[in-house]
Structure formats: C-alpha cells, structure tokens
C-alpha cells in the first residue's frame, strides 16, 4: 500500500545521537580478551568508524587478522554495545527528540543504519522513541548495504522516490541515498562530510523549515 504522507528516512549515528562516548571503553574491554589486538580504541578513532558496517569496521581495524577473527571481535563488541545502549542510551543532539516528535505529526519517519542488529531498537528503548518511527532497518539484520536497505524500507512501506528524503551525516550516506534515487540532506553537525547534498542541516531543529523546499 502506498503511503499517503511524505517520508523522512534518518541515519542514526551522527544524525540523531552521538554514541561514541561509550564505544572506546567497550572496545577496549573486548580487545583485552584478544591477545592479537595490540592497540587501544580512542573516541576520535571510534568517531571515524561511524557510518561503516560492522564488517567494514572489522576490515579497517584488523587488516592483519583472519576474516573469522575480525567477525568474532566485532560481534562481541556489537553485542556488548547494544546491551549497554539499551540500558544507558547515548547523547541525543540538542532538540532532536522535540523535532522528531513535531515531524511525526506531518511525516512518516524511518531509520536506516549501517549498524549491528539490535542497535536501532536500543536507541528506541533507551530514549522512548518507538512511537515516532514507522519502520527501521539495519545492515546487521539484512546483510545488505545502506543503499539497498533504503530501497527495502521504501518498497516495504510503499514509499515513492518523489515522496522521500534521507537525512545523514557522511559521504557514505550520500552515496547510499543516490543509489536509492532520493534527495539527501546532510547533517553537517555530525561525523562526516558530503560532496553535493541537496540541502545542508546545521542543527536538527532546522529540519522542519528546510523540508518545505525538498518535499
């Protein structure tokens, strides 16, 4: 069934919240269990990994380890991170929750993230956001990249290309949005850069007024 309202599809990390604060301690606890890992995670390094799939993170961090070992380490991290975030949450960008609540009155809202399975539900649970989003998708659940997951969300919910935009903070988000064939709004306040976004968001609270020129 085709949606009767315009649709906003959001990235999570660097767009709705900042979860890098907890990541270094969790990574380092996992590293301590694996003698093959001889470096420490920092918040700067954790931030540079945002927007990547867990497989891409494993490849970036552990190029000298076997694929099986990389997967084991990132899976251990992913499980512990989800458990932590579900209970503790992370740092919400200023005005995010109020803006999302306002937007949900006029638009259908979705989240598509290159995260492990369970990560987006942890965000929902910790910050009581379930009521605002119609559907979510994660690369860790589908095994697909973000571009294909955006298309999947659109197909599953009857969203046409003319009725949707994607809001994200990285060049990877921009490329995924182009693959899906919809406009890209760059969250400039996040972790990454963009090449030629259709609109620039300096603060998430600007989004309601900015959308009038895109949808």
In this prediction, residue 109 carries a pLDDT of 98
Instruction: Tell me whether residue 128 is exposed, middle or buried, using C-beta atoms within 10 angstroms of its C-beta: 0 to 12, 13 to 18, 19 or more.
Output: exposed
Domain count, the chain: 2
Q: Are residues 145 and 160 in the same domain?
A: yes
43 occurs within a structural domain = yes
| Proportion of the chain in helix, strand, coil states, percent, rounded to 5 | 50, 15, 35
If asked whether residues 14 and 24 sit together in one domain, one would say: no
Regarding whether 28 and 11 lie in a shared domain, the answer is no
CB 121 within 8 A of CB 53: no
Pick out the chain residues at pLDDT < 70. Answer: 1-4
Q: Which of 71, 88, 105 is the last residue of a domain?
A: 88
pLDDT for res 2: 56
Residues 36 and 46 in one domain: yes
> What per-residue confidence (pLDDT) applies to 42?
94
Task: Give the model confidence (pLDDT) of 9-62 as tens digits.
Answer: 999 999 999 999 999 999 999 999 999 999 999 999 998 998 889 999 999 999
Residues 170 and 204 in one domain: yes
Taking the C-alpha atoms of residue 159 and residue 166, their distance in angstroms, rounded to an integer, is: 12
Say if residue 63 is in the same domain as residue 111. Answer: no
Q: Domain ends where: 38, 73, 88?
A: 88
Same domain (yes/no): 79, 96: no
pLDDT at res. 50? 87
Q: Which residues of 150-174 are buried (b: 16+ CB within 10 A; e: fewer)?
A: bbbbbeebebeeebbbbbbbbebbb
- Among residues 88, 114, 131, which one ends one of the domains? 88
110 assigned to some structural domain = yes
- In a domain, residue 118? The reply is yes
Same domain? For 33 and 50 the reply is yes
Q: Is residue 1 part of a domain?
A: no
Q: Which domain holds residue 62?
A: 20-88
Do both 204 and 172 map to the same domain?
A: yes
* CATH code: domain of residue 158: 3.40.50.1000
201, 105: one domain: yes
Strand partners, 18: 91
207 with 187, same domain? yes
Residues 83 and 128 placed together within one structural domain of the fold: no
Q: Has residue 2 been placed in a domain?
A: no
């Amino acid at each position: 069934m085709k949606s009767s309202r315009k649709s906003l599809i959001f990235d999570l990390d660097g767009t709705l919240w900042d979860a890098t604060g907890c990541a270094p301690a969790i990574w380092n606890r996992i590293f301590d269990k694996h003698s093959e890992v001889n470096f420490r995670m920092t918040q700067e390094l954790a931030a540079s990994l945002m927007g990547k799939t867990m497989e891409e993170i494993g490849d970036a961090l552990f190029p000298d380890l076997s694929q099986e070992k990389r997967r084991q380490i990132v899976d251990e991290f992913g499980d512990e991170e989800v458990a932590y975030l579900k209970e503790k949450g992370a740092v919400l960008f200023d005005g995010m929750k109020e803006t999302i609540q306002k937007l949900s009155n006029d638009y259908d809202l979705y989240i598509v993230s290159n995260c492990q399975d369970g990560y987006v539900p942890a965000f929902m649970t910790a910050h009581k956001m379930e009521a605002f989003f119609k559907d979510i998708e994660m690369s860790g659940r589908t095994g697909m990249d973000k571009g294909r997951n955006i298309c999947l969300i659109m197909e599953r919910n009857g969203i046409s290309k003319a009725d949707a935009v994607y809001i994200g903070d990285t060049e990877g988000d921009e490329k995924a949005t182009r693959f899906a064939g919809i406009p890209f709004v760059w969250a400039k306040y996040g972790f990454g850069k963009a090449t030629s976004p259709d609109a620039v968001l300096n603060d998430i609270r600007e989004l309601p007024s900015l959308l009038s020129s895109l949808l």
